[in-house]
Chains A and B, each alone.
Chain A
Amino acid sequence: MTAPSSIAAQASNVVPITDAAKAVRDTRPLRLITCGSVDDGKSTLIGRLLWDTKAVKEDQAAALSRDSGKQNDLGLPDFALLLDGLQAEREQGITIDVAYRYFATDRRSFIVADTPGHEQYTRNMATGASTADLAVLLVDARSGLLEQTRRHATIASLMGIKQFVLAVNKFDLVAYDKAVFERIAHDFKELALSLGVRQVTAIPMSALKGENVVYEGRATMPWYDGPTLVETLELATTRTAAAGGFRLPVQRVSRPGESFRGYQGTVAGGSIKPGDSVAILPSGMVANVKQIVTFDLVRNAAVAGDAITLVLDRQVDVSRGDMIVSLDAQPMTGLAFDAQLVALQPGGIEPGKRYWLKAGTRRQRVQVSPLSQLELASGKWKSHSDTLPMNAIGKVRLSFDETAIFDAYEQNRNTGAFILIDPDTLNTVAGGMISAKRSDLGGIHRDGQRVLLSLPADLADELMASEAFAARRDEADVRRVSAARAAELLGEID
C-alpha cells in the first residue's frame, strides 16, 4: 500500500547482539498481539513464553496444575489457563476478551495481548491490534492458512502493524516436515505482501513443547536455521511518532496560581524546544514556546510520548481539545474526512446517525456515511452504503459540524486514530483511522467507489491520456463539460 518506513531508521533501533548485556532493558517495551483461529495455540504460546522466560511464579504454577486437573503428556500444566482469566472463559475453554500479559528477557520487556480467535470477537482482536507494534499470526501446521488468517492479517495491517511473525504451530504434529513449513511460509509471505507488509518472519514451532519459542528446536528441526520467536521479538522495532510535525493535543490547562499558565498533554508527534513557533488549532493563533515544564526539571526538549506541560510566551486562548502544533508542519483541518473503521457493537454503524467522535483529546459530533465494506475472504472492497454490521471493516466519510483536526493514520497513529461513541448507549461503537481529508468539490461526486469528475473537455482529454490516470481508470468517471460549466461548479466551492 505505502512504502515501508525507512529501513535505515529502523535499523538504528536494533540493539546489536554484542551490546545486549549493556542494553539490558534499555529500550521501550515491545507491544505485540497474537492472533489466529480457535485452537491454533495462541494461549498456549503465550503461556509458553511466560513459562520459559520465568514470568510464572511458583504459586501461580501450583494453582495452574491444580486448576487444569489432568496434565498433558509432557507433564506440563495447561498454559492456556494462565491467560483465560475469566470464569466464562475457563468454563467454555475459549478466550473471550483480550488479556494483557507481561514478560521480559535480558534484552527487552514485552506487553502481549492475547486475543480471541472466534470471528464474533473480531472487534476484540482490533482492540489488541490498535496499540501493537508487531503481530504474531498463528496457524496450525496441519491446516495451513485459513480465511481467519487472512482476516486477522488484514485487520492487523489496517491498524498499522508493519511487522508480522508467522508461527507455524503444532509442528510436532506434522513430523517436523520442512516442506510443510516452506509451503505455508510461502503462502503467507504472498498474503503479507498483498497487504503491504514487508517485514515477515516465519517460524516453525511447537508452542506445547517449547520448540523455537524461547529455546531453539534444533533437535527436531535441524534444517531450520532462522531465529526463535523471542529472538525475533527482541530485534523488532517499536514505532515512534517522532518524525513529522509537533503535535500536542491539550488535555487540560494548569493554572495553579495567577503567574503560571501551562498546557498539559502527551506529545503525539514530532518534538519541541523552547523558542519554537507553534500554532493553536483550530483557532490558528500563533505563539512561541517559552518553557517545557515537568516535575523533575525544566527541559530543553520534548519528543513524542513525553507527558509535558507547555508554557507559551503570550496570552492565547487555549482549552482542552485544542491541538498545539508546529507552525511549519501542520495537520489537516476541515469538516469532512475519509476514514476506515471497524464496527465494534451489535448495532453496527448507521449512516446519517450523529455519533460522538473522540480523537486525541477532542470530542465532537460527526455523521458517518459508509462507502464500502471490506470482504475479508477475498480482501476486496465492496460498495456498501447501509449500516456497517458488527465486526465489519468499512470505508466511510466523516462529516463534522465543527472543525476537525487530523493527520493521516499512515503518517501518525496518534493523531490519525479515533473512536466513535454512540450517543444513546454511550458505548464505544467503532475504532477508526483517517485516510485523508475530503475535499468536497462540486465537480466531484462519489458513486460507490468511483469518482465523477466534471472537467472542461480539453482538460478531460489531457487527464485521460495521462499515465497516472490510466492506472486508476476504474476509480473515476470523467464527464466533459464546457469551460463555463466547470467554472460555475468551481464557483460553488468558494
Chain B
Amino acid sequence: MHSHSSEFDPHRNDPAVKPPLDPHLKALENEAIHIFREVAAEFENPVMLYSIGKDSSVLLHLARKAFFPGRVPFPLLHIDTGWKFPEMIAFRDEMAEKFDLDLVVYTNPRGDSEKISPFTHGSAYHTDVMKTEALRQALDAGKYDAAFGGARRDEEASRAKERIYSFRTPDHKWDPRNQRPELWNLYNGMIRRGESVRAFPLSNWTEVDIWRYIQAENIPLPPLYYAKTRKFVERDGMLMWAEDPRFEPLPGEQVQEGMLRFRTLGCWPLTGGIRSTAATLDEVIAELEIATVSERQGRAIDRDQAGSMEKKKREGYF
C-alpha cells in the first residue's frame, strides 16, 4: 500500500542551508534516535502515540531521522476524544499524508453511546474514559507491545521518576515503587505476552530544548501554537476557546475576541490559552524564555489534586 521511500539521495539536505545543531541538542537527538531504534529492534509490534502537540511533532521528526532512509516502521496512534481542536485534526492528516505514515485513529465507542462531554461529565471522567480507557482499548486492539510517548521528565513530579522503558502490566498498570532499574543506556526490553513497555525518547528534554529544536530543525507545528485573533471566554481563571458549535457560554459570561495562542494542545474545553502576540516561532521562543509559569499550568488535568498525574499514570494514562 505504501511506496517505499525514494532512492537515497545524498544531497537531499544541503548542510550549507542548515547549520549543525549545538552539542546539547545533538546529544539529546542522538539519545532519542538510539531509543527509537532499540525499541523498533527489540519489540514485535511497536506503535507511536501521536497527540499532535509540539512534543509529538518533535517525536515524529526524530522517528523519521532514526529510520532514514527507510520510512517510519510502525504506525502512529491518535486517541481522538472528539473534543480536539479542528486545527489539530487537519494538521494530523496533513502530516500523515506528507510523511507517508500509517495513521491509526481510535475513539472510545462509549463516547458516542454515552455522549460523554467534559462539560456535563467533568474533566476527570472525560479524561478517564476518552483518554485513559480509550488508550488501553486501542493498545489491546492493536496488540502493541511497545508504545512510544513524548512525555518529558521535566513536565511533572511523578514523570521525573519515570524510566525511559516504562514497564506496564497486561492491564496497563504502572507500579512506580517497583520500576526496573535502568543503568547506562542498556534498556531491558524483555517482557511476557500481554505485558508492554511505554518508551519515552524525550525523557531528558526540557520545554526549552523542545522549542529550540523545533526552531533549529524547522519542524512544522499546528497553527494553534501561534497567536491569532480567536474567540474565547474566561472561565475559572482559564481562557477557553469559544468557536466550537458545542461551546455554550455560562450565564453572565462574555465571549471575547483577542490575540491568543496555546502552550500545550489537548481537548479544547480543558486547554487554556494565553494572551499573546507571538505569531512566529521566534516570537514564541522569545516569550518562553521570559515565561515564569510552567507549560502545564493551562491544563485542568494537573490541577485536580497533587499526585493526580501519578494516579492517572498508575491507571494507564500516558
Contacts and interface: CB of A to CB of B under 8 A. Distances in A.
Interface string B147-184: 00000011011111100000000000000110111111
Interface stretch (A85-93, A215-223, A225-233, A452-460): A85-93
B192 interface: yes
A419 interface: yes
A415 B10 CA distance: 31
B188 A358 contact: yes
A444 interface: no
A60 interface: yes
A291 B71 CA distance: 19
B22 interface: yes
B186 to A, nearest CB: 5
A111 B27 CA distance: 12
A130 B163 CA distance: 14
Contacts of A25: 22, 24
A266 B13 CA distance: 21
Given A100-B160, A265-B37, A426-B192, A130 B183 contact: yes
Interface in B183-237: 183-186, 188, 190-192, 203-204, 206, 208
Contacts, number: 199
A306 B30 contact: yes
A252 B66 CA distance: 11
B315 to A, nearest CB: 13
A113 to B, nearest CB: 10
Interface stretch (A140-148, A275-283, A295-303, A367-375): A295-303
Contact of B181 (A83, A90, A262, A428): A428
B23, B203, B291: residue with the most chain A Cβ atoms closer than 10 Å:
B23
A55 to B, nearest CB: 8
B288 to A, nearest CB: 11
B251 interface: no
Nearest to A251: B37
Interface stretch (B1-9, B45-53, B136-144): B1-9
A419 B7 CA distance: 39
Interface string A258-276: 0110101110000000000
Interface string A133-173: 00000000000000000000000000000000000000000
Contacts of A360: 186
A58 B292 contact: yes
A403 B69 CA distance: 32
A131 B15 CA distance: 32
Contact of A123 (B29, B71, B181): B181
B20 to A, nearest CB: 8
A295 B5 contact: no
B110 interface: no
A120 B307 CA distance: 25
Given A28-B24, A67-B306, A98-B161, A256 B34 contact: no
Contacts of A418: 186
Nearest to A81: B157
Contact of B4 (A256, A262, A359, A427): A256
A210 interface: no
A414 interface: yes
Contacts of B40: 252
A259 to B, nearest CB: 7
Interface residues of A, number: 76
A96 B177 contact: yes
A320 interface: yes
Contacts of A191: none
A57 interface: yes
Contacts of A29: 24, 27-28, 204
What is the interface of chain A mostly: helix, strand, loop, or mixed?
mixed
Contact of A417 (B15, B23, B37, B186): B186
B186 A293 contact: no
A67 B308 CA distance: 13
Interface string A342-366: 0010000000000010111100000
A311 to B, nearest CB: 9
B64 interface: yes
B68 A293 contact: yes
Contacts of B159: 85
Contacts of A421: 188, 190
Given A87-B307, A99-B161, A251 B38 contact: yes
B99 interface: no
Contacts of A123: 181
Contact of B41 (A59, A88, A131, A320): A320
B15 A296 contact: yes
Contacts of B70: 254-256
Contact of A257 (B7, B10, B160, B204): B7
Contacts of A99: 153, 157, 160-161
A27 B24 contact: yes
Contacts of B67: 254, 264
Interface string B62-97: 001111111100000000000000000000000000
B297 interface: yes
A307 B63 CA distance: 12
Contacts of B69: 254, 256, 260, 262, 293, 309
Contacts of B184: 130-131, 413-414, 417, 419, 431
A296 B217 CA distance: 10
Contacts of B158: 85-86
A356 B154 CA distance: 33
A63 B294 CA distance: 11
B203 A100 contact: yes
Contact of A252 (B37, B156, B182): B37
Given A251-B38, A256-B4, A419-B188, A431 B183 contact: yes
Contacts of A428: 180-183, 188
A127 B160 contact: no
Interface in A425-449: 426-428, 431
B204 A100 contact: yes
A102 interface: yes
A101 interface: yes
Contacts of B291: 57
B38 A361 contact: yes
Nearest to A427: B180
A57 B156 CA distance: 12
Contacts of A427: 180, 188
Given A100-B204, A428-B181, 16 more contacts: A28-B23, A28-B26, A57-B294, A85-B156, A85-B161, A102-B206, A256-B8, A264-B67, A266-B33, A291-B10, A295-B65, A296-B18, A297-B10, A307-B33, A419-B181, A431-B184
29 contacts: A25-B24, A27-B24, A58-B293, A59-B293, A85-B161, A86-B310, A97-B179, A99-B157, A99-B161, A127-B181, A131-B185, A251-B38, A251-B41, A252-B41, A254-B69, A255-B70, A257-B4, A259-B7, A259-B8, A262-B69, A291-B10, A295-B65, A297-B11, A307-B29, A359-B186, A360-B186, A421-B190, A426-B191, A431-B186
